[in-house]
Amino acid sequence: MSKIAIQGNASGTGTFTIAAPNSDENRTLTLPDEAGTVLTSASTIIPSSSGLLAFRVGDSTNQTITHGNTTKVTFTEEDYDLGSCFASSTFTPNVAGYYWLHGNVQWEAPTGSNYVVGAWIYKNGGRLAIHQHTSNGGSGRSITNNPMTVVYANGSTDYFDIYAYLYDYDLGGNANIEKAHSPNHYNTYFEGYLVGAA
């Protein structure tokens, strides 16, 4: 039979009292079978990075998107990857639950004045969330697409990517996604975090 031992601290001078509540019911408090510190309502809880699941990634090299094509956006630099779930430009969460995901894709101005640019969040190779911009006669401007969603992931096989699309009606030319960054800021990035496990 397991035993409970109460051990004092030789360095302290205070007295700790375990007080029973004003109750007419019998209660059982069950301790977990693990070592640790019991917290109270006054305790400050700061979760460790191993208990979090969040990421933010970017890149320093611009990426060319060709006319008429939907292309996966590449990310090779990590601001942070708590949970180690981001690799090869893909986020594959290892905890089942709901995730907030956000992409930011900044375009250099396409060569023509009539064009469509868009960015999608993909789940398992299929379109999930889109942000699209259409220009009629407005050339010479940078454009930003911001797809965003909250989505369920099963924690094992579900994965997420960012894809970009360009259609230049006038010239059928290419356009660059601007990734080069100033310190601590990416023009194009992908980020997300676990909202709640399920």
pLDDT score for 129 = 95
Domain count, the chain: 1
Residue 5 lies in a domain: no
Q: What is the number of other CB atoms lying within 10 angstroms of the CB of residue 130?
A: 14
- In which band, very low, low, confident or very high, does the pLDDT at 11 lie, cut at 50, 70 and 90? confident
| Residue 181 to residue 32: CA distance in whole angstroms | 48
Give burial (CB, 10 Å; 0-12/13-18/19+) of 28.
Answer: exposed
Q: What tens digit of pLDDT does each residue of 25-38 get?
A: 998 888 888 887 77
113, two tokens: 């004045």
CATH number at residue 75: 2.60.120.40
Q: What tens digit of pLDDT does each residue of 62-117 get?
A: 999 999 999 999 999 999 999 999 999 999 999 999 999 999 999 987 777 788 99
Q: Which domain covers residue 151, as residue numbers?
A: 57-197
Q: What tens digit of pLDDT does each residue of 147-157 get?
A: 999 999 999 99
66, two tokens: 């060709």
Residue 131 lies in a domain: yes
pLDDT score for 164 = 97
Residue 113 lies in a domain: yes
